[in-house]
């Protein structure tokens, strides 16, 4: 049987042929043609069109064509149920549907970039979906660090890091705290990258280690906390308006200031100011 869809496939138009060939039509032949020729060529080739608007096997609501095929042909393989949200998430840019979706998209996009012939791309993609099906069938609960010795080393290393982080605050963290305290009032555009450059420490490392030495807060959370504390000081000791305080503490506007203030304190700054006068 012939099947036809749009040219330059990435996710659905590779996953669907894999699904069709393995579960629906083992003798299937696939054709990739320009978008505006799919329906015309489908009639000429007596082919079933898929993943184009207006046909039966295509996206419907939040589901993709891979889902439509599973539903139409009543495919109840448990591994396909696991694969479906991965394919759907990758194909619809909803990577929150499955943790593997963003990885599938990255691989598919890279393959489509490297391989210009659609049939060659399909051949390469089949290998990916064969592997994904095997993982979904047999390997979901297998971790990369399967060796008991390797896992033990990781646990010991993590415990050591946790212990050592509480033993001594590194010099860069002490200096970072000083820089933040010095600049929080004058540099309203404080950034982790900028400060890391001053310290001559890799920003990724600082970002990863930051919370260990700064109240279990990320850099952004810590800066927001300092600015809210500064705002509270202004409310308590000055007659500045809330819009002036928002500006002085580095917030983009008063509504942004109000939202973050309530997030940090539980009440709006206007209510906080009113309570101070009572």
Q: Which of 155-164, 174-183, 231-240, 251-260 has the lowest mean pLDDT?
A: 155-164
pTM (predicted TM-score): 0.55
pLDDT digits (tens, 9 = 90+) for 125-173: 999 999 999 999 988 776 665 555 555 555 555 555 555 545 567 776 7
At residue 42, what are phi and psi to the nearest 5 degrees? -60, -40
Residues 128 and 173 in one domain: no
Name which of 38, 4, 23 is nearest 80 in CA terms.
Answer: 23
Write down the pLDDT at residue 275.
Answer: 85
Identify whether 148 is part of a domain.
Answer: no
pLDDT for residue 227: 84
Query: Do 36 and 130 reside in the same domain of the chain?
Result: yes
Q: CA torsion sign, 144 to 148 to 153 to 156?
A: positive
**Structural domain for 248, as ranges:** 168-277
Note the pLDDT of residue 56.
95
Closest alpha carbon to 9 in 123, 122, 127: 122
**Given this model, what pLDDT does residue 11 score?**
95
Choose one of 99, 121, 139: the last residue of a domain: 139
Judge whether residue 19 has pLDDT over 60. Answer: yes
The answer on 50 and 120 residing in a single domain is yes
Computed over every residue of the chain, the mean pLDDT equals 84
* 109-to-19, 63, 120, 141, 150 alpha-carbon distances in Å: 19, 20, 14, 27, 33
CATH of the domain at 246: 1.10.10.60
Q: How far apart are CA 95 and CA 92, in angstroms?
A: 8
Give the other-Cβ count within 10 Å of 10's Cβ: 20
């Amino acid at each position: 049987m012939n099947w036809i869809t749009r040219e330059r496939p990435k996710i659905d138009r590779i996953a669907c042929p894999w699904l069709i060939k393995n579960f629906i039509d083992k003798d299937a032949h696939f054709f990739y043609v320009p978008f505006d020729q799919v329906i015309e060529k489908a009639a000429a080739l007596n082919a079933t069109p898929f993943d184009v608007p207006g046909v039966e096997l295509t996206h419907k609501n939040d589901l993709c064509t891979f889902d439509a095929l599973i539903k139409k042909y009543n495919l109840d393989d448990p591994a396909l149920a696991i694969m479906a949200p991965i394919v759907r998430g990758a194909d619809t840019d909803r990577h929150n549907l499955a943790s593997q979706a963003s990885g599938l998209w990255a691989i598919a996009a890279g393959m489509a970039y490297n391989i210009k012939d659609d049939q060659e791309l399909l051949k390469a993609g089949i290998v990916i979906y064969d592997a994904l099906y095997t993982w979904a069938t047999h390997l979901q609960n297998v971790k990369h660090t399967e060796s008991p010795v390797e896992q033990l080393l990781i646990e010991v290393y993590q415990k050591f890091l946790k212990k050592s982080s509480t033993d001594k605050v590194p010099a860069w963290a002490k200096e970072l705290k000083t820089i933040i305290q010095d600049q929080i009032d004058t540099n309203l555009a404080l950034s982790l990258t900028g400060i890391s450059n001053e310290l001559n420490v890799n920003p990724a490392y600082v970002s990863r280690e930051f919370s260990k030495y700064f109240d279990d807060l990320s850099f952004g959370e810590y800066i927001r906390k300092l600015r809210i504390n500064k705002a509270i000081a202004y409310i308590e000791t000055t007659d500045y308006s809330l819009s002036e305080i928002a500006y002085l503490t580095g917030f983009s506007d008063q509504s942004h200031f109000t939202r973050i203030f309530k997030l940090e304190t539980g009440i709006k700054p206007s209510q906080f100011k009113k309570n101070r006068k009572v």
